[in-house]
Structure 1
Amino acid sequence: MSDKVEIKPYTGPAGGWGSVKSLAKIGLREQSGPEVLKELTRQNKPDGFMCVSCAWGKPAHHHPAEFCENGAKATAWELARFRVTPIFFQKHTVRELTAWRDHDLEQAGRLTQPMRYDASSDRYVAVSWEEAFVDIGAKLKGYDPAKVVFYTSGRASLETSYMWQLLARMYGSHNLPDSSNMCHETTSVGLKACIGSAVGTIHLEDYDHCDAIFYFGQNPATNSPRFLHNLRSCAKRGVQIVVFNPLRERGLERFTDPQNPIEMATGGETRIATQYHQVKAGGDIAAMLGIIKHVVRLDDESGGAVLDHAFIAQHTNGFGAVADKARETDWDEIERESGLTQGALEAAGAVYARSKAVICVYGMGLTQHRHGITNIQMLVNLMLLRGNVGKPGAGFGPVRGHSNVQGQRTVGITEKPELMPLDRLARQFDFEPPRELGWDTVATCEAVVSREAKAFLGLGGNFARAAPDTDTIEAAWQDLDLVVNIATKLNRTHLWPGETTYLLPCLGRIELDRQATGAQLVTMEDSFSRIYPSRGRATPAAETLLSEPAIVAGIAKATLPPNPHVDWDGWVGDYGLVRDAIEATFPDLFARFNERLDIPGGFWKGVPAAHREWRTDSGRAEFNVPEVMNATGFDEVEGRFRLVTLRSNDQFNTTVYGYDDRFRGIKGTRHVAMMNRRDMAALGVRDGEMVSLVGDYRGEGGDNADKRIAGLRVVAYDIPRGCIAGYYPELNPLIPIAHHALESHVLAAKSIPVRVEKAA
C-alpha cells in the first residue's frame, strides 16, 4: 500500500463511480476470485447470508445487488485468499508485529490453526484443539469466576451468543460486556426509562410513510451505506430531511445510486438533506430544546393546534415542566450551547410542527457523550410533543453498528441481572446463576488496569484496541493470567499476550458450517428488531477451523461439570436445538423460532412502545426536563477543544480496509486533526502542519493530562469552532476510562477535552 499522503476536497456525491472503483480496488488487493462475486449475489438475501458489517434491515423485496460498498469490502475481507499459518509466526515475533499498522495485521489473512503464545520465543505456536480446550478449562477452574470476563463482539450469532452467556453463567460469572457498551448502551438505558422499550420502535417500511426525518449524529455513507437507498427514496418523494451533525458528511448531502443505470450514466444525483445544521459537538441538547421552544410557542399562539394534546394527556407524564423549561430558556443560551442560530432552529421547528409522521434517526453522535442519556431524553421529549411514536411512519430509529449487537443483548449477553430471566434459566438448566451486577466495558477496563481481572475470554472483537486509554489498557493486558481470543484474523489485541494466551480461529459467517446433522444456519437481529437466518456456503478458509458454537462448547465441556440438561455436543451437531433452548428461555420473543426462520424480511420480535404500550414504572411515556445544556460534561474554557472521534469510509469499527477516506478527501494517512480555519488562525497553525493533541480532562475518577498524540497533520475542515475531528481507534489513548456516559457507561468518544500543541 502506498504511503503517499494526498489531501484535497472531495466534490463528488456518495455512492456512484467512487463506490465502484473502491470495490474494484479492494477486490484486486484481496485477490478476490469468482467465489466472492458469487457470494455477493447471496448477501442479505432470504436464502443467503446476513452481511458481516452493519445491522441495517434486510428487505422482504430485495434488490438484485443487496449490498453496499462497505458490506462488499467486509465480504471480500473475510474471503481473502491470504492465510496466517504457523509459518507466519515462525517469520515474525509478536514484538515485531506491534510495529505493524492495524490494516496490515488483518491484511495478513485468515487464521488457520489454534495457537498458544510462547514467551521464550515471543511467537505463537500451533497446538491441537484438544490441547487448547483442556488447558483453558483447567485454568478457568482455578479462578474466582467473578474475576473472569466473557466479552462478546457484535458479530456473533444468536446461537453462539446464547451458548456463550450460558457458559459464563454456569461457570459463575456475570461479567458479560459487549460492544454495545461502547456505543448504544445509552439507547438501551435512555429509551427504556422514557418509553419502556430499550430499542428502536420503527419498521423498515416506516420510511415509506414518513413525511419528515430528523437526523442526529450518524453518517450513513460510512456506517450504514444501504440506508442511503431509503434516504434517496424519501428525498425523491419530498420527505423533509433535517440533519444535525458537526461535520458535513457527503452521504447526508448528495447520493448517486450505483444500482440506477441512468444516474450512473448521466452523473445524476439526489439531494438528501433539506436542512443541514452543523451543531457543536455535545450541543444537541440545546438544539433540541430550541426546536421544542419554537414548537411550543407555535402551539401557544394557535391555541393548542400544533401539539398532540390528546396523546400527551393519555400517554405521557411531565409535559408541563418540559414546556415551561422551553419557554423560560432564552435564545442566547440556546445559541451559545448549540452553536446554531435562533433562525436555524426555528426553521427546523417549523418542519417538525407541520409534519404528520416523523422518524428520528440517530447514532453515536448522541450516545457517546457524558450526558448522552440527556440527549436521548430530549429526543423523546421532541417526539412525544406530536405523538410521533407508535403510528405508521413515525418513531425512533437508532442505527446500530455491528450486525448482531442488538440481538446478542436479546439472548442474554448482559451484565445486568434484571435484564435476564434468571429464574427461568435456573429452572431450565438446573443451576443457580449469579445474581449480582457484572462488569460492563468500563468496569472491565478498570478491573484490567487494577489487576483485579484474572482472565479475559473474547468472542471476537479487538477489545484492547477499541477500549479507552489504550496505552494503559495494553500495558495492563499483559498482566492477565489467561487471555482467549476467538477470531478470524489477527488484530492488535492479540499482540499483548497475558501469562497464557490462545488464538482460536473460527469459521466466518459466510463459510459453509457442516456439522453432524448437515449444513447449519445461524440467526441475527437487525436494528429493526427483526430476526433472520444466515446460511454460509463459501469454502472454509481451512479444514482446521471450528465454528463458533463448537469452540464455545469445547471450552464449556473442558470447564464445567456435566449437566444432563445441556447437551453441548448435541447443540453443536444441530443449531436448531440451540434455537429451541432460546425459545424456552424467551418464549414471548422467540415463539415458534425454528418455524418462522424463512419469513421474508425476517420475523419481528416485538417492541411494546411501537404500539404505545409503555412498560415504565408509571405505565406512561416520560418527559424529562434537562438538567444540563450541553452533553460534554466539561466546561468550555479558552484553549480547550471538543475532540470527536469517527470512522473513515475505508473502515468498519477497528477493521481498517485501507487509507482512503474518499468522502473527506484524506488519502494515505489516518493521523490527522480536522480543524476549523478560524481556530487554526487563532492558534497560528497552518493547513498541513504537524501538531500534538494533549488531554485536558480533569474529572472524577481520573484525568488524561498525561496523554498526548503527536504527529497529527492539521487538515482545514468545515467543522464548528471549538471542535476537532480525528480517527478512531488511533485517538482512543486520549479518552480517559472515567470519561463515559452517566448511567450507561458508554465511552464519551464524541466530546473528548483536548488542547492543541504546535510541534517544537
Structure 2
Amino acid sequence: MNAKTPTSPVPPYPHPAGGWGSVKALGISLMRDGAPLATASALRKQNKPGGFACVGCAWAKPAKPHLAEFCENGAKATAWELTDKRATPEFFARHSLAELRGWSELELEGAGRLTEPLRYDADSDRYLPVSWDEAIAGIGRALAAQRAADPRATVFYASGRASLEASYMYQLLARLYGNNNLPDSSNMCHESTSVALPETIGVPVGTVRLDDFEQTDAIFFFGQNVGVSSPRMLHQLQEARQRGVPIVTFNPLKEVGLVHFANPQSPAQMLTPGETTISTQYLQVRNGGDLAALTGLCKWLIEADDIAQARGGARVLDAAFIAEHTQGFGAFAQAMRAADWSAIERGSGLPRDALERAAKTYAHATAVLGIYGMGLTQHREGVANVQMLSNLLLLRGNIGRPGAGICPVRGHSNVQGQRSVGITEKPELAPLDRLAELYAFEPPRERGRDTVATCEGVIDGSVRAFVGLGGNFLRAAPDSQRLAAAWAGLDLTVHVATRLNFTHVVPGRESYLLPCLGRIEIDQQAGGAQTVAVEDSTGCFHASDGVAEPAVPTLRSEAAIVAAIAQACLPPNPRVPWNDWVADYAKVRDAIEATWPDVFQGFNQRFRDPGGLPKPNAARERRWETDSGKAQFIVPPPTEHESDPSVLRLMTLRSDDQFNTSIYSLDDRFRNVWGTRRVLFMHPHDMRARGLAEGDMAHVTTVAHDGHRRELAGLRVVPYDLPRGSVGGYFPECNPLLPLQHHAHGSHVPAAKNIPVRVKSAVA
C-alpha cells in the first residue's frame, strides 16, 4: 500500500470562461496553425450572412449576429482548417504507415492539409500519389466487385461535417448501391435523443429555438459542458442571467463555462473584474446518476401537487395540460410516489435537500428550458434519461410554450442535418418510396448497420469495405484497440478528408485517401462558386458560403467526390443527374425539397433568411405525432447502482483545446492540466482507498464479462473535485476501455459516460 497522502483537488481555474484567457488562447492558436491573416479575415464572416457556418459545433446562428459571431473553439476549428501546413506526397514518402501509427493524433493532424489523392502501397508501406482519375477508377472497380458479391458488406460512414447537399447525394449512393449501411456520428452521441423523443413528444429533435432563451424564466442543464462544446450559447445564458433567470446545473464536474463567464465582446467585462455567474445551483451528480436525480425532481413535484390538492391550494402541476395533451400520467405518478428517497440519494450521489431546492426552482417557473448533452445520452439508460427529462417538462406543460422546451445540444456542425436528408441506417426513417419514385429504382428495405453493428462486422469479418465521408472512425468508436486490430482485414477502405488522422494510417488491403475542400474554402464548380446548407441544433437550415481560397488547386469538393464514386461503381441511371448536381448545388437542394416537400418548402428561396429556415416541429405547436396522438409519460426502468466499492465509473471528457478527435494541443487550461492528456481525474477519497497520490501512475481495467481484457496503463492521477466513485479521462484516449456491447438500450449509443472500471497503481 502506498503510504503517500494525496493532495487536495486541483484548484479550479481562477478565471471565467471567455475573457482574456480566451483571447490569449485564440492568439496562440492562430500562430500555432499558421496563416493567421487568412484566419483572421475568415473569422469576420463566420456564422454571418454571406459567410460560412462554423465547422465546429452546431449551435444556432442568430438572425442578428454579434460583431464577432464565433467562440474560441470555433475560431480554433477555423484556424485548424486554414492552416498553411501541408501533408504533401513528399511527407508520405518520408514516413511509412507503421511509423505514423506511432504518432499521436496531435502529430498526425499537425502535418497539415492533404493535397493530392493517395493510394496505399503495401510493398513500401506508404501512401503514393495517384491522379484523381486513377483513384476514382480504382475505387469504382473495387466497390463494383463488392456490390456484385454482397452489397450489404460495404459501409458508408458519414461524420457530422458534410453539407446537406453532399449528405443527400451520399445516402442516395448507398441506397442505389444496395444497402442502408449509413452509420454516422449521431450513432455515437444523440441517437438516444432520436429514439427517446419520438415516443414521448412525437419528434426526434429538440423543440427550442433561440428566441425561447429570451422568454424563459428558468433553465435546467444536464450533462453538457457549454464552455467547451458550444461556447456561443454563453451569450444566451449570460443574457438570461442578467434578467435574473435561475440556471440549475447537473454535472459531475464543475465546468468553468457553467460557473462563470466574461464576455470578450463586452468592454465592461474585459476592462474590469466583471463577470457573470452562470449556474445559480450546481449539483454534482455521480456518473450514471441522472435518472435517479430526475426521479427525485419529479417525485417532489408530484407529491407537492398531492399536498396542494389535499389542502385546496393552487396546483403545482399543470393539470389542464396533462389532461388535454398527455397520456400515461397516472402510472408515471404512481411510480414516482413509490420511489424511495434513500435510493434516489444513493443513485444520484446528491442529498435530498439539494434536489428539493432544484424542484422548487422548477415549480416557481412558468417557462423552463431543459438543455442536455452527451452526459445524458451516452449511458446504458441514455434513452430513459432523455425520456425522464421529457417527463419533467411535461409535468408543468413546458413543451410547446414560448420560453420552454427540450434542447439537445448537438456536437458536429451538421450532424442533425445529415439525418434530415436521409443519412440513417433505419429504413423506416428514410422516404424510400419517394426515392424510388424520383430515381426509378427499388431501394433496400433491410435495416442497415449503425456504428456498433459496423464495428461488430469489422471484427467478425462480415464488413468487407468501408467508405468514410470525413471522421476518424477508429479513434471515435468504442473498443478502439480491438477494432483497429481487425481493420487491416478489410478489402477496401476509402477516406474523404481534409487532414490526416489515425484511421487513415490503418489501411485495408486496398486503401485510398481523397483530399477534399473544407467548408470555409470557395467551392468553384462549372456553375460558379457554390453555396452549401447546414442545419443547426435548433432545427434551422442555413446557407454557408466559402470565403477562403482552397489550400491547393488539386482539392475536390465532397459533392464532386461522392458523384464521381457513384458513377464509377453504379450502373448508369438517367434519372440521377450526378454531373448537373455537381455543377449547381441549387439543383441538389431542389431534389431535397422534392424528396421532403413539407420539410424543405421553398428551400432555395428561404435558406438565406436571417436566422435560417426553420424545420417544421409539431411538438412546438402541441401537435403530438405519437402512436396515441398525445405526449406520453413513460415510466423509467429501475435505477442502477454499483454495489461493489472497488468498481469506479469512468466518464470520457474533452479538453478546452480539442474538437472531437481533433487535438489542438496537450493542454487543458480549464482543468489545469498541461502537456499531457494521459491523466485520470479522481476524488481524493478514491485515491486514498487505492493507495494513490497526486502524480502516481494508474492502471485502469474495464469490468466486463465477455472474455476480452481492456486496460490502460500510465495514466497520471490528478485529484479533482468530482463525486466519489466517479473518475474521468480524456476522449478518445480512453476509448479502448469502452466495450462494444456497453451501449444504451434501444439506441446503441456507446455508454462512454459510465464505464465500470477498476483502478490500481501501475507499479503495484
Instruction: Say which of 734, 737, 760 aligns to 1:757.
Output: 760
Alpha-carbon distance, 1:697 to partner = 2.0
Question: Aligned partner of 1:483: which letter?
Answer: T
Q: Does 1:226 align with 2:229?
A: no
Aligned partner of 2:243 in structure 1 is 237
Aligned partner of 2:684 in structure 1 is 677
Cα deviation 1:199-257 (Å, max 9, x = unaligned): 00011110000000010000001100101111111111111100000001010001010
Aligned partner of 1:258 in structure 2 is 264
Question: Aligned partner of 1:139: which letter?
Answer: A
Aligned partner of 1:688 in structure 2 is 695
How many Å separate the matches in 1 of 2:574 and 2:328? Answer: 52
Matches within 5 A, 1:124-523: 124-143=127-146, 144-303=150-309, 305-523=315-533
Q: Does 1:721 align with 2:724?
A: yes
Runs of at least 4 residues off by over 2 Å: 6-9
Secondary structure of residue in 1 paired with 2:386: helix
How many Å separate the matches in 2 of 1:92 and 1:232? Answer: 49
Whether the 8 Å CA contact 1:370–1:748 is kept in 2: the answer is: yes
What is the TM-score of this pair, normalised by structure 1?
0.97
Question: Aligned partner of 2:193: which letter?
Answer: T
Secondary structure of residue in 2 paired with 1:142: helix
How many Å separate the matches in 1 of 2:112 and 2:707? Answer: 38
Question: Aligned partner of 1:23: which letter?
Answer: L
Question: Aligned partner of 2:762: which letter?
Answer: A
How many Å separate the matches in 2 of 1:395 and 1:338? Answer: 24
Alpha-carbon distance, 1:114 to partner = 0.2
How many Å separate the matches in 2 of 1:525 and 1:598? Answer: 12
Cα deviation 1:61-92 (Å, max 9, x = unaligned): 11110000000000000000000110001111
Q: Does 1:654 align with 2:661?
A: yes
How many Å separate the matches in 2 of 1:188 and 1:683? Answer: 40
Whether the 8 Å CA contact 2:10–2:720 is kept in 1: the answer is: no
How many Å separate the matches in 2 of 1:600 and 1:377? Answer: 33
Cα deviation 1:260-316 (Å, max 9, x = unaligned): 111111121100001000001111111111111111122111116111001001111
Aligned partner of 1:641 in structure 2 is 648
Alpha-carbon distance, 1:707 to partner = 1.0
Whether the 8 Å CA contact 1:7–1:667 is kept in 2: the answer is: no
Aligned partner of 1:742 in structure 2 is 745
Q: Does 1:97 align with 2:78?
A: no
Instruction: Say which of 586, 602, 613 aligns to 1:603.
Output: 613
Cα deviation 1:694-735 (Å, max 9, x = unaligned): 11123xxx365x111000000000000000001000000000
How many Å separate the matches in 2 of 1:529 and 1:703? Answer: 43
% identical aligned pairs: 58
Cα deviation 1:446-493 (Å, max 9, x = unaligned): 000001101000000000111111111111110000000000000000
Alpha-carbon distance, 1:325 to partner = 1.5
Whether the 8 Å CA contact 1:644–1:751 is kept in 2: the answer is: yes
How many Å separate the matches in 2 of 1:278 and 1:478? Answer: 42
- 5+ residue gaps, structure 1, are 1-5
What is the TM-score of this pair, normalised by structure 2?
0.97
How many Å separate the matches in 2 of 1:15 and 1:703? Answer: 46
How many Å separate the matches in 2 of 1:750 and 1:408? Answer: 25
Aligned partner of 2:4 in structure 1 is none
Aligned partner of 2:637 in structure 1 is 627
Question: Aligned partner of 2:427: which letter?
Answer: P
How many Å separate the matches in 1 of 2:486 and 2:683? Answer: 37
Alpha-carbon distance, 1:9 to partner = 4.0
How many Å separate the matches in 1 of 2:285 and 2:376? Answer: 11
How many Å separate the matches in 1 of 2:92 and 2:322? Answer: 64
- 5+ residue gaps, structure 2, are 1-8
How many Å separate the matches in 2 of 1:28 and 1:401? Answer: 26
Q: Does 1:533 align with 2:543?
A: yes
How many Å separate the matches in 2 of 1:627 and 1:7? Answer: 36
Whether the 8 Å CA contact 2:39–2:82 is kept in 1: the answer is: yes
Secondary structure of residue in 1 paired with 2:693: coil
Question: Aligned partner of 2:435: which letter?
Answer: L
Question: Aligned partner of 2:721: which letter?
Answer: D
Aligned partner of 2:13 in structure 1 is 10
Alpha-carbon distance, 1:139 to partner = 0.9
How many Å separate the matches in 1 of 2:112 and 2:599? Answer: 38
Question: Aligned partner of 2:106: which letter?
Answer: H
Aligned residue pairs: how many? Answer: 748
How many Å separate the matches in 2 of 1:692 and 1:712? Answer: 7
Secondary structure of residue in 2 paired with 1:325: helix
Question: Aligned partner of 1:352: which letter?
Answer: Y
Whether the 8 Å CA contact 1:703–1:736 is kept in 2: the answer is: no
Aligned partner of 2:62 in structure 1 is 59
Whether the 8 Å CA contact 2:678–2:716 is kept in 1: the answer is: yes
How many Å separate the matches in 2 of 1:8 and 1:657? Answer: 24
How many Å separate the matches in 2 of 1:395 and 1:495? Answer: 44
Alpha-carbon distance, 1:7 to partner = 7.2
Whether the 8 Å CA contact 1:289–1:378 is kept in 2: the answer is: yes
Secondary structure of residue in 2 paired with 1:553: helix
How many Å separate the matches in 1 of 2:84 and 2:762? Answer: 42
Whether the 8 Å CA contact 2:624–2:630 is kept in 1: the answer is: yes
Cα deviation 1:312-333 (Å, max 9, x = unaligned): 0111111111111121212111
Aligned partner of 1:21 in structure 2 is 24
How many Å separate the matches in 1 of 2:218 and 2:690? Answer: 41
Matches within 5 A, 1:704-715: 704=708, 706-715=709-718
Whether the 8 Å CA contact 1:696–1:703 is kept in 2: the answer is: no
Q: Which moved more, 1:296-305 or 1:85-94?
A: 296-305
Question: Aligned partner of 2:402: which letter?
Answer: P
How many Å separate the matches in 2 of 1:681 and 1:757? Answer: 11
How many Å separate the matches in 2 of 1:642 and 1:400? Answer: 24
Aligned partner of 1:3 in structure 2 is none
Whether the 8 Å CA contact 2:10–2:719 is kept in 1: the answer is: no
Alpha-carbon distance, 1:8 to partner = 5.9
Whether the 8 Å CA contact 2:86–2:113 is kept in 1: the answer is: yes
Alpha-carbon distance, 1:590 to partner = 0.5
Aligned partner of 1:116 in structure 2 is 119
How many Å separate the matches in 1 of 2:36 and 2:681? Answer: 38
Q: State the Cα RMSD in Å.
A: 1.1
Cα deviation 1:495-534 (Å, max 9, x = unaligned): 1100000000000000010111100000000000000000
Question: Aligned partner of 1:573: which letter?
Answer: A
